[in-house]
Amino acid sequence: MRLRADRGMPEAVIRQATVDDAESISVILREAFDRFKNDYTADAFDIVRPAVPEIVRRFDEGPQWIAEIDGNPAGTVSVLPEPEWLYIRSMAVLPAAQGHGVGGHLLNAVEEYATGEGFEKLFLYTTHFSQSAIRLYEKHGFYWVRDTPADEWFGTPGLAMEKKLPHVRD
């Protein structure tokens, strides 16, 4: 999927990732979340920045996508199918590419996949200190479901958000 990024950024290409992209995905997650190191507990910080073996393992759980700009990795997202919804996790865009539509394009790819697979709801967790992420999710139709206490997610409180998808009939 080729998309024009916002505000003059070069064209973004969104594609399903392969195991060969695991190193790039790990780098994106690390660079995107490094600025929040002091906001997370040590355990939570490790979880949001998984190493390559964990990313490889996740390919067995559900698809992952990568965004490229000029052939260079710029963003990523992965999903985990669950009985009640499609769970979005590990959404990140490199700092230099943030604010240019890459995250929105990744969310659109996830929604297209979810609709095609018959999911009726998307679900995610985020943190209160990730204000730009919250604004992105809200812009794309997600809404607050509940606050999550620190003991629910490795000592870091946050919030749960979801988006109901239109039911498509054949």
Domain ranges of the chain: 2-164
pLDDT at 1: 45
Q: What is the pLDDT of residue 3?
A: 41
pLDDT value for 131: 93
pLDDT of residue 11: 77
Classify 18 as helix, strand or coil: coil
Distances (CA, A) of 60 to 12, 28, 80, 81, 83: 26, 20, 10, 11, 17
Question: Measured over all CA atoms, what is the biggest interatomic distance in the chain, rounded to whole angstroms?
Answer: 49
In 3D space, the residue among 146, 143, 78, 145 whose CA is nearest the CA of residue 114 turns out to be 78
Question: Kind and range of the H or E element at 101?
Answer: none
pLDDT on residue 9:
59
**Domain 2-164 belongs to what topology?**
Aminopeptidase (3.40.630)
Which pLDDT does position 100 carry in this prediction? 86
Q: What is the pLDDT along the chain (170 residues), one digit of tens a residue?
A: 444 444 555 678 999 999 999 999 999 999 999 999 999 999 999 999 999 999 999 999 999 999 999 999 999 999 999 999 999 999 999 999 998 899 999 999 999 999 999 999 999 999 999 999 999 999 999 999 999 999 988 999 999 999 999 875 55
Question: pLDDT value at position 8?
Answer: 57
The full length of the chain comes to: 170
